[in-house]
Amino acid sequence: AQRVTQPEKLLSVFKGAPVELKCNYSYSGSPELFWYVQYSRQRLQLLLRHISRESIKGFTADLNKGETSFHLKKPFAQEEDSAMYYCALGMPDSWGKFQFGAGTQVVVTP
């Protein structure tokens, strides 16, 4: 069965420090991986998708099919990065559904 695992519930980092959010998935088909972010009192929004291979707000994520991982990284955390981050698995051969991880709360302290 498909599954998305985010092992860290909470990550607390200092401003300027690197931050890495882990995401592992299991899926028998061809996966589409995404990171969604929810800032305080805002709706969930797309941060990154694996197919675009771009950097958004300084964040990058690489899909590693061998390790079935899609970790999110940023070299220098900013206070505005404090938010809840969700890794999501898109399943195009399963009615276009998405499976979300449990989420990682990131707190960046000055």
Binding site for another protein (CB under 8 A): 6, 9, 32, 34, 36, 43-46, 49, 51, 86, 88, 90, 92, 95-103
Q: Which is nearer to another protein, 18 or 92 (CB)?
A: 92
| SS3 label, residue 79 | helix
Q: Which is nearer to another protein, 87 or 108 (CB)?
A: 87
Q: How far is the CB of 17 from another protein (least distance, A)?
A: 25
Q: Which is nearer to another protein, 6 or 21 (CB)?
A: 6
Q: How far is the CB of 45 from another protein (least distance, A)?
A: 7
Q: How far is the CB of 44 from another protein (least distance, A)?
A: 4
Q: Which is nearer to another protein, 13 or 44 (CB)?
A: 44
Q: How far is the CB of 30 from another protein (least distance, A)?
A: 12
Sequence-separated contacts (24+) of 63-70 with Cβ below 8 Å: 63/31, 63/33, 67/24, 68/24, 68/25, 68/26, 68/27, 69/22, 69/23, 69/24, 69/25, 70/23, 70/24, 70/25, 70/33, 70/35
